[in-house]
Chains A and B, each alone.
Chain A
Amino acid sequence: MKRLVNLSPSRPWALLLGLIPLALVLALYLAGSDARLTENPNDKLLPSLEQMSSALDRMALQPSKRSGEYLFWTDTAASLQRLGLGIGIAAIIGLLIGLLTGALPAVNVALSPLLTVFSLVPPLALLPILFIVFGLDELSKVVLIVIGVAPFIARDLQKHTLEMPREQLVKAQTLGANSMQILFRVLLPQIMPRLIDAVRLSLGTGWLFLIAAEAIAATDGLGYRIFLVRRYLSMDVIIPYVAWITLLAFLLDMALAWLSRRLYPWHHKGAAS
């Protein structure tokens, strides 16, 4: 028998082994839900699959009685728009600051202290300030995501820019490159896949800030909805919403990974030399 540290299951086994815990959790949930519902058919804590699918049907496939909107989809659209804007703006700001501070020592000296301070401020503590300054609508939610995520992206990209082999910068100079050309043709393209990596890593944080902001002040959005129906203990809505958010997060992550492999094959296959 091999040592446990050397034992890595082959493909079908790995898949099976990975599914077992998930199936176990699901079975445990269903058993619990069943037990509670037989005891008290009005129990709200652990809704059955049928209850959840009928709630989802009501939210997603039938217009709301009050506004005539399909709430599930308007919530999804509102949240994705905020998240997309917030992460997108954070990516642009993070890329600019990270690249410039990493590549130009003078900019680094000027901006590094500010960046360090900014990345230490807990963004949620700024939320009241954002509501006061930007009002309660879209802008403040987007700004919260930007403030929460941009410093991380900036610092990550700064680090990668600084770690770029000096040899490449010297080589570019011996080929006659000026600073702009080094930035645009040598550093920027090689930092782009790192930007995608950083965005993937910061999406989780982005969702956190989005849901927090929506819970506090919004009239639609996935986070708004789950905090709204909490008042009625509507677990049959909350659980499918959480599952949907998880699926969206997973799909976004997959899409970015695919994009990076598609656009920057040399980054994924290459030993960098």
Chain B
Amino acid sequence: MIEAQNLWKHYGDHVVLERINLKVREGEFITMVGTSGCGKSTFLKLLLGTEGATRGTLTLDGNPVPDEPGLDRGIVFQQYSVFPHLTVLENVTIARAFEHSPLLGRLFGSAKRQAEDEAREMLASVGLASAEKRYPHELSGGMRQRLAIAQALIRKPRILLLDEPFGALDPGIRADMQELVLSLWRKHKLTVFMVTHDIKEGFYLGTRLWVFDKTRYDPQAPHAYGATITYDLPVGHMDRALYEEIDDRLHPVPA
């Protein structure tokens, strides 16, 4: 479904990603880990279409990834993912309003009620049934991310991109959210790309783990080389030693 061939991304002289080759099949759940600033979000932006590749190709079903965000690729960011001026319910129905009302982006009458029923169902499936009239600032961080997920799924994207979606949440809440994402992934048959800074999350969630890291490093010119995918592992087939090795690479113990 998705394929990268010798993909490079530079910002000016700064090489962020280099020599990325990969193939992803429909329905995979990929978690991505790597040190902060190594280019994980940049990779998601390439998939989104807000950034373009400097070299190489990134294709979706054999065609280059569109150079604009679109309906087929939903996204949840760590923050700013929901619209602060809309209630929980409106945050979800607005997606249908965009679909049916090209000029104003507003729904009326039966179209509106239909969108609201659909949105309520989606909100119930992420555990927000009782909060539909509240504004995002009245929600906890976890509830806000649940809303962002419901919103991202309402137009039924094939691909769901998650950029450290639980990074700001407490560990207890994070476990609930992981369950939620897994169940939605199965239910909606999504292909998921999830960035996380929690290696455990990467190791036990989903079907495949990518570790982004630099294989070449020049202390005189830290930006001369970019990160690439150094480990591409099927989840569930990893041993303790490998876990510790990767953990060590990402969080070097200070000497």
A interface list, Cβ under 8 A from B:
165-168, 170-178, 180-181, 184-186, 189-190, 264-267, 269-273
Contact = CB atoms under 8 A, between A and B. Distances in A.
Contact of A170 (B69, B84, B102): B69
B208 interface: no
Interface string B101-116: 1111110000000000
B155 to A, nearest CB: 6
Contacts of A171: 75, 77, 81-83, 151-152
Interface of B: 48, 50, 68-71, 73-75, 77, 79-85, 94-95, 97-99, 101-106, 135-138, 144, 151-152, 154-155, 157
Contacts of A185: 94, 97-98, 104-106
A271 B50 CA distance: 26
Nearest to A264: B85
B73 A174 contact: yes
B131 to A, nearest CB: 14
B40 to A, nearest CB: 16
Contacts of A167: 77, 79-81
Contacts of A270: 84, 135-137
Contacts of A189: 85
A178 B102 contact: yes
Contacts of A190: 83-85
Nearest to B148: A171
A158 to B, nearest CB: 19
Nearest to B74: A174
B95 A176 contact: yes
Nearest to B159: A174
B43 to A, nearest CB: 15
Nearest to A180: B103
A174 to B, nearest CB: 5
B71 A174 contact: yes
A166 B73 CA distance: 16
Contacts of B98: 172, 175-178, 181, 185
A71 to B, nearest CB: 45
Contacts of B102: 178, 180-181
B80 A168 contact: yes
A174 B74 CA distance: 6
Contacts of B73: 174
A168 B148 CA distance: 11
Contacts of B82: 171, 273
Nearest to B101: A181
A239 B73 CA distance: 66
A189 B84 CA distance: 10
Given A181-B98, A270-B135, A273-B79, A173 B68 contact: yes
Question: Which of B70, B71, B105, B151 gathers most chain A CB within 10 Å?
Answer: B105
Given A190-B85, A270-B136, A273-B144, A176 B79 contact: no
Contact of A165 (B80, B85, B103, B152): B80
B126 to A, nearest CB: 16
Given A181-B98, A271-B137, A273-B136, A174 B105 contact: no
B94 A175 contact: yes
